[in-house]
């Protein structure tokens, strides 16, 4: 699995959700944490986040430990190697609709508690995830859609934009992961769990081949988690623009708005509609950059502070603890322990 270049962070809540079934079965997760290069102190910090690369490493190690690529979220499970078989079955399809129907049949034959259904109308396609009438964990629904949507995107060599996403379960404390990965229009406590997208996308020809499957699988799950994220939101565009500059050179709101060809008022309003402010986007991006740099053993805390726009390491230390609830040392010590 290739993790280099992964951007963004994942909340510690999703880490706990992934580890939950293994913990309930009294499995020793110390090896998983070591492979992922995660300090145990992070598990006890509710605001902590980990790099996307670390989450990807944890995903693979946990699937190996449990022999389950669905992390114990289904009563039957998805044994190691199942996703590869499903990918090979789907890649020989005629078009995306044919491939999706194969994917859903495969998962229905493998899992007991989840069943996907593809419904096509004149202008909209809907993938409904049936749960047998039993309310499942949000993490289970979300993971199922990451596996399906990510594979579908790869098959046609482009991100499939989603119009909406609905979950039967209650909302989490922070739903940003689902909006970042899937689409802005995410709602909870719905009648069904489903995603919708333009039906014309189902006619797309398969762009990959049996010869490209191995490269795709070697990059999984990193490519499923990050490559096909929702990058159309205003906050994603702002983050992308800021990432091209050093933090101490980030522009003021009005200047950035000019670069994005909108007014400052419009940019501010669009961010507010996503529950964000420009300052929050900058703070979150600084945090993510810092976590990414701290997870590497090659930089000191002082060097990371400088690269994230702080003149004094002490100011960086205070800000980082405010953002995550833990000190930079919790990430630093983890990286050094595994050099």
CA 316 – CA 301 distance, rounded (Å): 9
CA 268 – CA 285 distance, rounded (Å): 17
Percentages helix, strand, coil for the chain (3-state, rounded to 5) are 55, 10, 35
Closest C-alpha to 76, from 125, 121, 21, 32: 21
User: What is the reported pLDDT for 8?
Assistant: 78
Q: pLDDT digit string (tens) for 283-301? A: 999 999 999 888 776 788 8
Question: For 53-76, what is the mean pLDDT?
Answer: 94
Question: For 125-149, what is the mean pLDDT?
Answer: 97
Specify the range with the lowest mean pLDDT, choosing from 156-165, 196-205, 249-258, 321-330. Answer: 321-330
What average pLDDT is seen over the chain?
A: 91
User: What is the reported pLDDT for 188?
Assistant: 98
User: What is the reported pLDDT for 2?
Assistant: 38
Question: For 158-164, what is the mean pLDDT?
Answer: 95
Band of pLDDT at residue 330, cut at 50, 70 and 90:
confident
Evaluate if residue 197 carries a pLDDT over 70: yes
Strands 9-11 and 194-198: unpaired
Beta bridge partners of 165: 186, 195
Q: Which residues of 21-53 are buried (b: 16+ CB within 10 A; e: fewer)?
A: bbeeeebebeebbebbbbbeebbebeebbbbbb
Evaluate if residue 1 carries a pLDDT over 70: no
- Global pTM reads 0.86
* More confident: 188 or 7: 188
Band of pLDDT at residue 335, cut at 50, 70 and 90:
low
Evaluate if residue 121 carries a pLDDT over 90: yes
* More confident: 87 or 230: 87
CA 107 – CA 256 distance, rounded (Å): 45
CA 39 – CA 335 distance, rounded (Å): 9
Question: For 201-207, what is the mean pLDDT?
Answer: 98
Question: End-to-end distance of the chain based on CA atoms, in angstroms?
Answer: 19
Question: For 157-173, what is the mean pLDDT?
Answer: 95
Band of pLDDT at residue 223, cut at 50, 70 and 90:
confident
Band of pLDDT at residue 7, cut at 50, 70 and 90:
low
User: What is the reported pLDDT for 297?
Assistant: 62
Band of pLDDT at residue 3, cut at 50, 70 and 90:
very low
Determine contact, residues 30/191, Cβ cutoff 8 Å: no
């Amino acid at each position: 699995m290739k993790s280099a270049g992964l951007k963004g962070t994942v909340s510690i809540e999703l880490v706990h959700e992934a580890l939950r079934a293994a913990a309930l079965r009294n499995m020793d997760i110390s090896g998983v944490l070591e492979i992922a290069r995660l300090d145990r102190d992070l598990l006890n910090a509710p605001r902590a986040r980990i790099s996307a690369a670390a989450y990807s490493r944890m995903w693979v190690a946990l699937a190996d430990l449990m022999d389950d690529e669905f992390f114990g979220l289904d009563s039957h499970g998805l044994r190691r190697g199942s996703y590869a078989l499903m990918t090979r079955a789907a890649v020989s399809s005629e078009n995306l609709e044919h491939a999706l129907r194969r994917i859903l049949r495969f998962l229905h034959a493998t899992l007991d508690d989840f069943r996907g259904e593809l419904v096509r109308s004149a202008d909209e396609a809907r993938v409904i995830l049936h749960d047998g009438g039993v309310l499942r964990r949000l993490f289970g629904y979300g993971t199922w859609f990451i596996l399906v949507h990510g594979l579908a995107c790869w098959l046609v060599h482009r991100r499939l934009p989603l119009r909406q996403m609905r979950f039967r379960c209650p909302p989490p404390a922070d739903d940003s992961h689902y909006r970042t990965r899937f689409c802005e229009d995410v709602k909870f406590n719905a009648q069904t769990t489903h995603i919708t997208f333009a039906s014309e996308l189902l006619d797309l020809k398969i762009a990959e081949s049996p010869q490209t499957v191995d490269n795709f699988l070697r990059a999984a799950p990193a490519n499923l988690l990050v490559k096909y994220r929702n990058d159309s939101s205003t906050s994603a565009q702002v983050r992308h623009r800021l990432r091209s500059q050093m933090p101490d050179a980030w522009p003021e709101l009005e200047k950035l708005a000019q670069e994005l060809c909108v007014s400052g008022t419009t940019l501010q309003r669009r961010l507010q509609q996503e529950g964000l402010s420009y300052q929050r986007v900058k703070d979150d991006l600084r945090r993510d950059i810092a976590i990414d740099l701290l997870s590497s053993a090659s930089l000191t805390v002082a060097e990371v502070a400088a690269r994230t726009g702080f003149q004094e390491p002490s100011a960086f230390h205070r800000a980082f603890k405010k953002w995550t609830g833990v000190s930079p040392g919790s990430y630093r010590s983890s990286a050094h322990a595994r050099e």
